[in-house]
Structure formats: structure tokens, C-alpha cells
Amino acid sequence: MSQAPLYALVMAGGSGTRFWPASREARPKQYLPISGGKPMLTETVERLEGLVQKEHVLIVTAKSQLDEVRRCLPDVPEENLIAEPEARNTAPCVALGALEVLRRDPNAVQVVLPADHVIEPRSAFAASVGAAAEEARASGALVTLGIRPDHPATGYGYIEAAERVARRPGGDVHRVARFVEKPDAARAEAFLKQGGFYWNAGIFVWSGAAIRAALEAFLPDVVTGLERAFAGGSLATEYARFASQPIDVAVLEKAHNVRVVPVDYSWSDVGSWAALAELAPLAEGSNRAALSSGAQLLAEDSTNCLAYAEGDQLIALLGVHDLVVVRAGNATLVCPRDRAQDVKRLVDRLRKAGDSRFL
């Protein structure tokens, strides 16, 4: 296989309430400076620098989020923004993006990645993608990255690695024995004890030919529908027919040519304020702060809190502990770290009240 260019397919169409009030209906998590600094989507694309040329970065997103994408990525060419007519989980989204890249360059290797993960350091990430891309080129496999777990997380799916099939400069490559859905605590503990289990980061590397073959095998209706749309049909009509399912379940768990590159770097899908409270930068003692654009934290006699603020804002904490304090737009949230998962209850109340100012 030739040294074809690497394309990136960034999946940015998600929505959710777990980062309310920072995330809103019109501005989900990937457009926010969740880890401080730049929006997650911007950081995701910057993480690809040196690995993927700018004109080879495609963003798949919701129609309603196109302006947010343009705001975060002013340099990405307009024709690289792909809008889904509606959200159908990741399988149709990945298929749409993958077949579009295939149309543009049949020889390209594709790296598919979510727009809202925190990954450090960038160099290790680049090396692992490089190894996965080499494997994808060389073997035609569907390659995933597997994050070596540092704790028995119950919030992630796991990949069990089988025997090693290759050693590449950026990492080893293993055959995948199986994908495991989010386990309970006991099973997660057992995975860690046994070893060879990795978190499924939802990052995939494959050639256009390989993913097309897999889609034809496991999602033939999606392939047919997308081709009708490419030929001038209505993408919205096709999408309305697609089942809503994740690409992992719909394709990767069924395919036999799946490989995993185990990696050691720091990775998180930052699924909640509580998760951010583990990984935001330390500030003012044991507190952590995700602050952007001149925002500031001032803490007195306060420990283990997370402060999130955007813009020229101050969060002042006095004598408080283990709290999440978020000041975002016109809303402020205060809750204990261990109650952060219930933020959706606040959002539900606002929805019931029909109070769109804060949604």
C-alpha cells in the first residue's frame, strides 16, 4: 500500500446536559473550553497538527452546530464541514464521513476521533496514531486505540487484546479478542487484575477500503442510502431510515479484522464535571480550575473544588470543599463533586418550566 495521506474525521455532532450550564443546547461540550484554554474541538484539531494536513481534516457535525464549528475552526475549509441532518449515534455519522473521505481520496487512511476528549501529551498521541495508521495501511485492519486503564473505571467500554501481531515505532499492535460494554465495578477490577484490557476511546484508524468493506458487510442499508444521497438524493430522507446505533456495536464488535494499539498516555472522555474535577489543572492549593480568557480563581480555606469560568470572570471560594462551581453565560452552578451526575435534574426542571434562557 502506498504512503497515502492521512485524513481525520472528527465527530463533533454530540449533545448532552452533563456539562450544563457551560454546555447549552446551542453549544455542546465540544465547543467549550472544558479543560481551560481553547474549545475542545479546537484542541482536538490542533492535536492532529503534523499528523494530518489541515485540508484533510473533516468535521462531521449537526446542521445546527455548523456555526460553532466555524467559530472554533476558522481555518478548516467550508467543504470539509459535513452536516448530519439528524443525530443517529455514531454509526451513520462515521459511515457518512468515511465514505465521503473515500470519495475524495480512495487511498487515504482515515483516523476517526471524537471532538471532546482530553489527551496528553500530544506527541504520544501522534505516535500511537502513526502506529495505527501504519498497521491500517499494511494489513487493511480496522485499528483502534486502547487506553491502558489506571483505575477500574465503570464508565468506559473495554477492549480485550489478544496476541501481538506487530511491533511498530509508535506502539505494538494486537489482535482484538473482544469488546466489552461498560462493566460493573467487580468486573472492572477483574479486568485490571487480569491485564490485557484497555479502555475503548472511540478512536479508529482504517483505510477507506477496509471501512467500506466492513460497512457493506454489517450496515449495507446505510451504505446504499448514503450512495443514493451522494448521487443527488436527500440525505435527510436516508438518515430518517438509519437505525441509531454506535459504530462499535454495529461494526467493530462484529468485524474479524480488528486490531488494537495499547497506549499509555493520559486520556479522558471527560464525561462529567466530576471527571473534569480529576483532570483540570491544579490552582490555589488542591483546587482545580478550568478557566479561559482571563477568568480567575481565588480560594481561601478551600480544598478539592473545581472552578469553571469563561471570560473575564472571578470565582471566589471561601471555606468550601469538594464543590463544583461553574459560572458560564447567564447561569451559575454550585454542587458537590459527587452530585455532579444529577445536573440533568436541574436541566429537566428548566425544560419543564420552558425556561429556554438557561438551556
Residues that bind a second copy (CB under 8 A): 21, 296, 298, 300-301, 309, 312-320, 323, 325, 327, 330-336, 339, 342-343, 345-346, 349-350, 355, 357-358
Place of cell 420552558: 354
Residue nearer to a second copy on the CB measure, 213 or 320 = 320
The residue (of 65 and 292) whose beta carbon lies closer to a second copy is 292
What minimum distance in Å lies between the beta carbon of 285 and a second copy?
A: 13
Q: What is the closest distance, in whole angstroms, from the C-beta atom of residue 231 to a second copy in the complex? A: 48
Contacts of 9 (CB under 8 A, 6+ apart): 58, 60, 94, 97, 98, 101, 110, 111, 112, 113
In whole angstroms, the minimum distance from the beta carbon of 172 to a second copy comes to 44
Tally the residues of the chain. Answer: 359
Residue written as grid cell 492535536: 47
What distance in Å separates the CA atoms of residue 265 and residue 45, rounded to the nearest whole number?
A: 18
- The dihedral through the CA atoms of 183, 189, 190, 196 has a sign that is positive
Q: Closest by alpha carbon to 168, among 268, 239, 260?
A: 260
User: Which residue lies nearer to a second copy by CB, 261 or 290?
Assistant: 290
Question: CB of residue 348 vs a second copy: minimum separation in angstroms?
Answer: 10
Nearer to a second copy, 217 or 316 (CB): 316
Instruction: Identify the residue whose cell numbers are 476511546.
Output: 201
Task: Spell out the residues 6+ positions from residue 204 whose beta carbon is closer than 8 angstroms to its own.
Answer: 94, 110, 111, 112, 113, 142, 143, 144, 145, 247, 252
Q: Nearest distance from residue 297's CB to a second copy, in Å? A: 10
Helix (H, G, I), strand (E, B) or coil at 142: strand
**Considering only CA atoms, which of 179, 181, 165 is closest in space to residue 261?**
165
- At closest approach, how far in Å is the CB of 307 from a second copy? 9
Least distance to a second copy from the beta carbon of 349, Å?
A: 6
**What is the C-alpha separation between 14 and 99, in angstroms, rounded?**
20
Q: Following CA atoms 268, 274, 277, 279 in sequence, which dihedral angle do they give, to the nearest 10 degrees?
A: -10
Query: Do the beta carbons of residue 6 and residue 133 sit within 8 Å?
Result: yes
